[in-house]
């Protein structure tokens, strides 16, 4: 994600200059904060379960390759159907795990105490970049250590499992048995796959521990919504650059990036509706209504675009840009209103 937008910085500065009048916490706010935390922990637990199943599936896959002395061609020749089923299972388990994380990413990535996990799991850059680096090293079963390889979902495992990373392809293979080998039909490096699956399970559990220890509070809730909502334009940009628009294989090949946007922005809306709306409404019911209407508008745009795509609509680059700009404009309006509400509540945005 990219939260260093100049417009966001200007809105933050403006909000901090407004007069602050504290709004008292009430039972509705406390319940809302608790609900957001429990929602996040519930999906985090499902993420852990799926990550563990994924790890087990990679153990099976690696075992099949090892049984043939690490010779992928020999393994495919002897056990092609078995390997094809194993890869199909791995991809399905990966997608389920990823979707559980995307459902809570809008919350996790916006809370200062847990934001580092978003970089590690889903959004961080490799160490070759200058900012937003995923601060971890990946140790593989054979003892190799990959220094700062990038985020685990979209930087390591998705490119590996779907054959987007040329270095991870061990053999082209007709996985669906149609007599042709097309892009993405490959056997991938079992050593990297198993190491990455183990890392996913490890970091998902670490996130659970820190989320369990997190004490929900008004400042973090406001910060989360302000930081994450304006990232919607970046996600639309990633959708535009993916194979779903350009036809070129690249990032986000497992499913449309719009599916992820639904989860991320849904998390932002949930944080506002559950944890912040009681605070804002108590001081300014009209402002609260406008913010909620903004979120409904934003999610309706995302949902409609994704539904059109799922029904077979094709989007050109210009239309994708226009939709992304509309989404960004709506998100910026929401954030401006939320910053007004934060100022009225005497809350300073962190980050």
> Any bridge partners for residue 139, and if so which?
145
Mean pLDDT throughout 246-262? 69
Band the pLDDT of 104: cuts 50, 70, 90: very high
pLDDT category at 250 given cuts 50, 70, 90 is low
Q: How far apart are CA 268 and CA 102, in angstroms?
A: 11
Q: Does residue 280 register a pLDDT over 80?
A: yes
User: Does 174 have pLDDT greater than 70?
Assistant: yes
Q: Which residues pair with 56 in a beta bridge?
A: none
Q: What is the pTM of this model?
A: 0.85
Nearest 5°: the CA angle 178, 246, 238 is 115
Mean per-residue pLDDT, 230-238: 82
**Between 141 and 244, where is the model more confident?**
141
Q: Is the pLDDT of residue 258 over 90?
A: no
**Mean pLDDT computed over 160-175:** 93
Task: Report the first-to-last Cα separation within the chain, whole angstroms.
Answer: 14
Structure tokens at 270: 């949930």
Average confidence (pLDDT) over 233-242: 76
- Positive or negative torsion for Cα 200, 206, 212, 214: negative
Q: For residue 169, which of 179, 182, 180, 184 has the smallest C-alpha distance?
A: 184
Given a cut of 70, is residue 318 above it in pLDDT? yes
Given pLDDT bands bounded at 50, 70 and 90, which one contains residue 6?
Answer: very low
pLDDT confidence of residue 79: 97
**Closest alpha carbon to 168 in 208, 195, 131:** 195
Q: What percent of the chain has pLDDT over 70?
A: 89
The length of the chain is 351
Whether the pLDDT of residue 246 is over 50: the answer is no
CATH topology of domain 6-344: A middle domain of Talin 1 (1.20.1420)
Q: What is the mean pLDDT of residues 304-310?
A: 88
Three-class secondary structure of residue 53 per DSSP: helix
**What are the b/e assignments for 72-88, b being 16+ CB within 10 Å?**
beebbeebeeebbebbe
Confidence band (pLDDT; 50, 70, 90) for 242?
A: low
Average pLDDT value for residue range 324-340: 94
pLDDT band of residue 113 (cuts 50, 70, 90) is very high
Whether 103 has a pLDDT exceeding 80, the answer reads yes
Q: Under a CB-based contact definition with an 8 Å cutoff, are residues 1 and 260 in contact?
A: no
Q: Torsions phi, psi of 270, nearest 5? A: -65, -45
Per-residue CA distances from 334 to 85, 226, 268, 290, 294 (Å): 45, 9, 11, 8, 6
CA distance 7 to 233: 13
Instruction: Tell me what percent of the residues of the chain surpass a pLDDT of 90.
Output: 72
Minimum mean pLDDT range among 161-170, 212-221, 258-267: 258-267
Burial class (CB in 10 A: 0-12, 13-18, 19+), 342: buried
Mean pLDDT of all residues in 261-284: 93
Positive or negative CA dihedral for 334, 37, 98, 196?
positive
| Cα–Cα dist 166/163, whole Å | 7
Amino acid 248: pLDDT: 53
The tokens for 79 are 């056990």
Average pLDDT over residues 302-326: 87
Q: Is the sign of the CA dihedral 247, 252, 258, 261 positive or negative?
A: negative
Question: What value, to the nearest 5°, has the Cα angle with vertex 243 and ends 301 and 227?
Answer: 45
Rounded to an integer, the average pLDDT of 165-181 is 93
Average pLDDT, the chain: 88
Q: What does 198-262 look like in DSSP terms, one character per residue? A: HHHHHHHHHHHHHHHH----HHHHHHHHHHHGGGHHHHHHHHHHSHHHH----SS-SS-HHHHHH
Do residues 210 and 117 touch, judged by C-beta distance below 8 A? yes
Cβ contact 187:83 at 8 Å: yes
Residue 170 has pLDDT above 50, yes or no: yes
What is the number of other CB atoms lying within 10 angstroms of the CB of residue 137?
12
pLDDT given at position 17:
36
Mean of the pLDDT values across residues 189-212?
98
Helices (H) and strands (E) in the chain, counts: 13, 4
Helix (H, G, I), strand (E, B) or coil at 145: strand
Which stretches within 110-189 are classed as H helix?
115-118, 158-161
């Amino acid at each position: 994600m990219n939260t260093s937008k100049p417009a966001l910085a200007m809105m933050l500065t403006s909000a901090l200059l407004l007069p602050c009048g504290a709004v008292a916490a009430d039972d509705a706010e406390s319940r809302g904060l608790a609900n957001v935390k429990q929602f996040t922990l519930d999906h985090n637990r499902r993420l852990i379960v799926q990550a563990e199943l994924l790890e087990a599936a990679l153990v099976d896959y690696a075992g099949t390759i090892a049984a043939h002395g690490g010779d992928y061609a020999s393994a495919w020749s002897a056990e092609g159907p078995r390997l094809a089923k194993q890869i199909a299972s791995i991809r399905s388990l990966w997608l389920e795990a990823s979707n559980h994380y995307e459902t809570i990413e809008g919350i996790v990535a916006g809370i200062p105490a847990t934001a580092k996990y978003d970089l590690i799991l889903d959004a961080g850059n490799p160490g070759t970049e200058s900012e937003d680096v995923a601060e971890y090293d990946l140790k593989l079963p054979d003892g190799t250590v990959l220094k700062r390889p990038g985020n685990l979902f979209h930087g390591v495992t998705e490119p590996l499992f779907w054959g987007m990373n040329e270095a991870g392809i061990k053999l082209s293979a007709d996985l669906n048995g149609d007599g042709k080998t097309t892009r993405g039909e490959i056997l991938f490096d079992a050593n990297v796959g198993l190491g990455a699956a183990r890392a996913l399970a490890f970091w998902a559990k670490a996130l659970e521990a820190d989320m369990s220890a997190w004490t929900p509070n008004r400042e973090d809730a406001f910060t989360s919504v302000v930081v994450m909502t304006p990232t919607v334009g970046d996600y639309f940009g990633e959708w535009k650059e993916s194979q779903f628009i350009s036809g070129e294989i690249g990032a986000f090949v497992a499913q449309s990036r719009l599916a992820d946007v639904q989860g991320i922005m849904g998390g932002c809306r949930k944080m506002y509706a559950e944890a912040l709306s009681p605070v804002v409404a108590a001081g300014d019911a009209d402002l609260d209504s406008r913010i909620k209407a903004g979120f409904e508008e934003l999610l309706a745009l995302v949902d409609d675009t994704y539904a059109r795509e799922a029904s077979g609509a094709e989007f050109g680059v210009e239309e994708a840009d226009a939709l992304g700009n509309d989404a960004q404009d709506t998100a910026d309006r929401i954030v401006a209103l939320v910053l007004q509400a934060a100022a009225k509540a005497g809350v300073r945005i962190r980050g």
